[in-house]
Amino acid sequence: MRTDSSPGSLPAREHLPATGAGTPVLDVVVPVYNEEKDLGPCVRRLHEHLTRTFPYAFRITVADNASTDATEHVAARLAADLVEVRSVRLEQKGRGRALRTVWSASDAPVLAYMDVDLSTDLNALLPLVAPLISGHSDLAIGSRLARSSRVVRGAKREFISRTYNLILRGSLQARFSDAQCGFKAIRRDVAQVLLPLVEDTGWFFDTEMLVLAERAGCRIHEVPVDWVDDPDSTVHIVRTATDDLKGVWRVGRALATGSLPLDRLARPFGDDPRDRELTGVPQGLARQLVGFCVVGVLSTLFYLLLYSGFRVFAGSQVANALALLVSAVANTAANRRLTFGVRGRGGAVRHQAQGLVVFGIGLALTSGSLAALSAATTDPDHSTELAVLIAANLAATVLRFLLFRAWVFPETPATEAGHVPEPGVPDQYLVWGDATARLQPVHPAADTDPRNGR
């Protein structure tokens, strides 16, 4: 249960309550395909470990992916011998399909899975699921790439794994460190919201789920693991890598085009300090400052290049005005999208008009500086002009940020952001199973500033 009384606009993630007799807290899925040899030792070892170390009721579910050998019979014998073990038979292959099927039907509040080879040391299992039970996190993953992880595997697999995670970071802005370690867990309420959005049914299932979870504002807990490579692994590396890259392209395109409704899921699973309305505490100031500084540096370089080019055929005042005008339009567009998070075309013309007013103020500062320089010396050299312009632009930059934040892209009050419904406009909800994600009412102003309701 929640133990703090600090204000928040979202309900806190709840510590999972003690369940009744016979209802497991944890359901560990072991997806298998033609694993008649390894399945028995794996499940018995996992069962013994959970019985000895796990303080809650648990279940082990063997998900048979259309095996053609004796795997189905081995799984049935294990289910008959061990009370906490059950077996599920699927007539189609696909690890993602198996996990989706079992997780969607499970009654356990925490869902996990691990590979049948048990490459990951089982001592990491309790640290993996503890943050989900306590309500601290929404998903948890084992990481072989953390500094404190101890991993034994060949150079080829090490290179492939690190390259793949670099691709995810560069293309999908993923922040988790290891997408493919077969050792993950998720809260059932979170799974019921995310799983309908995950399309892949194979090995890319994990990556797609994690990317969507991150974009939806879920907290992902990472556990350093001890991991020993299985030399007899039946995973086809080339085919898997190809399918993963196709998945990266598909998800990246969906995120870029906005076809995934992640804005409807933004942080629906628990209290987030960023959503709390605290008097006197500016929202997102640090992030906006960083974004504004990056855009400002690039804009200044762009401006100086333009000025140098225009100065070839025009006087200093004309070159300054033209360079500042072009760079100001680009600066406003970049800050609109990157610094203040405004997406879509709504309000773009108004923002550019306000940006031009800010540009006028900057023009007055820089032009005044050039006029003062001309009054001080009749023929200033080019380097002196640039130095004066840089100083003037620094002053104009500070003023520009303040005007952007307070006037052009102001923070929307909570009552306009959907926290307090308008009379006669009911709240809307998306419901998957027993998990509910609130949809904010649509206001006319929302089209001009998509940050409303975030």
What are the catalytic residues? 206
Amino acid at 428: Q
> How far from 107 is each of 33, 169, 183, 227, 302, CA to CA, in Å?
24, 34, 20, 30, 58
**H or E segment at 220?**
strand 220-224
Distance of CA 183 to the CA centre of its chain: 19
As given in the structure block, the two tokens for residue 29 are: 């899925």
d(CA 113, CA 319) in angstroms, rounded, equals: 63
- Say how many C-beta atoms besides its own lie within 10 A of residue 422's C-beta: 11
Rounded Cα distance, 144 and 138, in Å: 20
Confirm if 334 and 298 have CB atoms less than 8 A apart.
yes
The conformational region for residue 66 under phi > 0 = left, psi -120 to 50 = alpha, else beta, is left
Q: 333 with 305: CB under 8 angstroms?
A: no
Distances from the Cα of 148 to the Cα of 93, 121, 180, 184, 227, angstroms:
35, 14, 18, 18, 12
- Other Cβ atoms within 10 Å of 423 Cβ, number: 5
Instruction: Indicate the helix (H) or strand (E) that contains 287.
Output: helix 285-310
